[in-house]
């Protein structure tokens, strides 16, 4: 047998994606204006981003970024442990720790890097990482790269987690879960998982990328919403690029654990620090998220309105009370067709297909923002219902474009 050529391999993989309606296409945004985006010449109302509180373009956040950049420059210039740790990084870590009620915070370049850091710094070959089956890909990759034994339990099933832990009685154990699940929008059973962790002497780690800023008292996330603290959840992740509108992430928690990460986590030690200007922007965003409670109030109103109108229109929703509101479409081709129809109607809603979601569970991932208005939500629901009806007839967005050209 000869060695497989890499060109042949990627060509075969591409052909398979095309045959199963799983080709992924990158779109180019040339302008953002509130909830609207100019996408390849078309103005679209964006319902697929993660700017839940509408802070990414806030004048105070942008102003902080510009002011700091004018003084400190554009880059982080070095790793935190060499020469890259700036007083703005320190101020942001302290603000985040105070907000989320943790002894200490540690900044990372992204949530992906943060998850790699936590699992790889704490687990080795003889240890076990037990994870929810719908966890984010970064948590799965983190366990695989750590070399530990990875065991997954059915979604939201705390009893499943304890069964997996009991089957691996030796070595250190870590339970890792999303706080708010990015594709379903539901919240993990954190109180039950905290009890499992305590009984099994495991560490509970919560990736709250989609919860911090949005749920819980003062937007402090799913851990606070579950009335848990650092004794129950020794480590949690807060992303800076979703509700806070910036970029990067922070791991918060127990002083000793954070200290261990800062000295041993490879994705912290061996990478350049966030630009100080980005830290300044996020610091401004955190202060807004802590005080402008009306943003979460507006989100709650929009979520309720979307769900009420969508259910009235017969759309198939999932059990979510967060800004992530998936509309199930079933097959991949149907989800793509609906997404294309929506774009023709002026709405940008991404079609999410396997392997990001389970087989047969393709969906439109609708995300709501404080930047949206009631009329925006009403128009979207009407457009999704029409797109569903047209998809059932076997029409696609390409059919729409062709008919429009012929009509001209």
Residue 402 has pLDDT above 80, yes or no: no
CA dist 408 and 396 (Å) reads 19
Is domain 59-291 classified as CATH 3.40.640.10?
Answer: yes
Q: Band of the pLDDT at 392, cuts 50, 70, 90?
A: confident
Q: Range with the lowest mean pLDDT among 328-332, 382-386, 390-394?
A: 390-394
**Binding residue ranges:** 24, 111-112, 136, 182, 210, 239, 356
CA dist 241 and 230 (Å) reads 23
Residue 287 has pLDDT above 80, yes or no: yes
pLDDT, position 22: 86
DSSP-derived letter for residue 272 is P
Structural domain spans, the chain: 20-53+293-407, 59-291
Whether this prediction's pTM lies above 0.75 is answered by: yes
Q: What is the mean pLDDT of the chain?
A: 94
pLDDT, position 259: 97
Residue 398 has pLDDT above 70, yes or no: no
Q: Give 3-state DSSP helix, strand, coil % of the chain, rounded to 5.
A: 45, 15, 35
pLDDT, position 282: 98
What is the rounded end-to-end Cα distance, in angstroms, of the chain?
57
pLDDT tens for 307-351 read 999 999 999 999 999 999 999 998 899 999 999 999 999 999 999
Helix (H) or strand (E) holding 239: strand 235-239
pLDDT tens for 167-184 read 988 899 999 999 999 999
Residue 38 has pLDDT above 80, yes or no: yes
One-letter-per-residue 3-state SS of 35-65: CEEEECCEEEEECCCCCCCCCCCCHHHHHHH
**Which one has a higher pLDDT value, 265 or 405?**
265
Per the CB < 8 A criterion, the answer to whether 271 and 82 are in contact is no
**Binding residue ranges for pyridoxal 5'-phosphate:** 111-112, 182, 210, 239
Q: Band of the pLDDT at 21, cuts 50, 70, 90?
A: confident
**Which one has a higher pLDDT value, 49 or 395?**
49
**Binding residue ranges for substrate:** 24, 136, 356
Across 377-381, average pLDDT = 98
**Which one has a higher pLDDT value, 281 or 397?**
281
Judging by DSSP bridges, how do beta strands 362-367 and 351-352 pair with one another? antiparallel
Residue 205 has pLDDT above 90, yes or no: yes
**Which one has a higher pLDDT value, 22 or 249?**
249
pLDDT, position 404: 35
pLDDT, position 2: 77
Which residue in 3, 267, 310, 10 sits closest to 121, CA to CA?
A: 267
pLDDT tens for 112-150 read 999 999 999 999 999 999 999 999 999 999 999 999 999
Domain 20-53+293-407, CATH among 3.90.420.10, 3.90.1150.10, 3.40.640.10, 3.40.630.10: 3.90.1150.10
pLDDT, position 337: 93
pLDDT, position 395: 55
CB neighbourhood size of 198 (10 A): 12
Residue 399 has pLDDT above 60, yes or no: no
């Amino acid at each position: 047998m000869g060695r497989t050529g890499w060109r042949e391999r990627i060509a075969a993989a591409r052909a398979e994606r095309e045959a199963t309606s799983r080709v992924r296409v990158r779109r180019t945004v040339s302008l953002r204006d509130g909830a609207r985006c100019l996408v390849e010449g078309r103005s679209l109302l964006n319902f697929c981003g993660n700017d839940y509180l509408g802070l990414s373009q806030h004048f105070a956040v942008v102003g902080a970024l510009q002011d700091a950049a004018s003084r400190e420059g554009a880059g982080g210039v070095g790793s935190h442990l060499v020469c890259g740790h700036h007083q703005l990084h320190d101020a942001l870590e302290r603000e985040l720790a105070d907000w989320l009620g943790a002894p200490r915070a540690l900044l990372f370049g992204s949530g992906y890097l943060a998850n790699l850091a936590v699992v790889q710094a704490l687990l080795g070959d003889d240890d076990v990482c037990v994870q929810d089956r719908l966890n984010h890909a970064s948590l799965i990759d983190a366990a695989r790269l750590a070399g530990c034994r990875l065991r997954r339990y059915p979604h939201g099933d705390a009893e499943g987690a304890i069964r997996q832990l009991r089957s691996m009685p030796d070595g250190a154990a870590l339970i890792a879960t999303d706080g708010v699940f990015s594709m379903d929008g539901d919240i993990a059973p954190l109180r039950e998982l905290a009890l499992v962790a305590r009984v099994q002497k495991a560490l509970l780690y919560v990736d709250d990328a989609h919860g911090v800023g949005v749920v819980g008292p003062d937007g402090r996330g799913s851990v606070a919403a579950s009335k848990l603290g650092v004794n129950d959840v020794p480590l949690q992740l807060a992303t800076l690029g979703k509700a806070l509108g910036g970029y990067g992430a922070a791991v918060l928690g127990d002083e000793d654990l954070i200290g261990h990460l800062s000295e041993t986590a490879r994705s912290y030690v061996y990478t350049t620090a966030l630009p100080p200007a980005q830290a300044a922007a996020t610091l401004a965003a955190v202060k807004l998220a802590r005080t402008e409670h009306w943003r979460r109030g507006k989100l709650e109103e929009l979520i309720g309105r979307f769900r009420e109108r969508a259910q009235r229109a017969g759309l198939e929703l999932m059990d979510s009370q967060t800004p992530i509101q998936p509309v199930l479409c079933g097959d991949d081709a149907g989800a793509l067709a609906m997404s294309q129809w929506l774009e023709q109607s002026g709405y940008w809603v991404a079609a999410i297909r396997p392997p990001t979601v389970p087989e047969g569970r393709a969906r439109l991932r609708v995300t709501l923002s404080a930047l949206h208005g009631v009329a925006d939500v009403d128009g979207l629901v009407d457009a999704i219902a029409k797109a569903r009806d047209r998809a059932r007839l076997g029409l696609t967005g390409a059919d729409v474009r062709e008919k429009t050209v012929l009509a001209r």
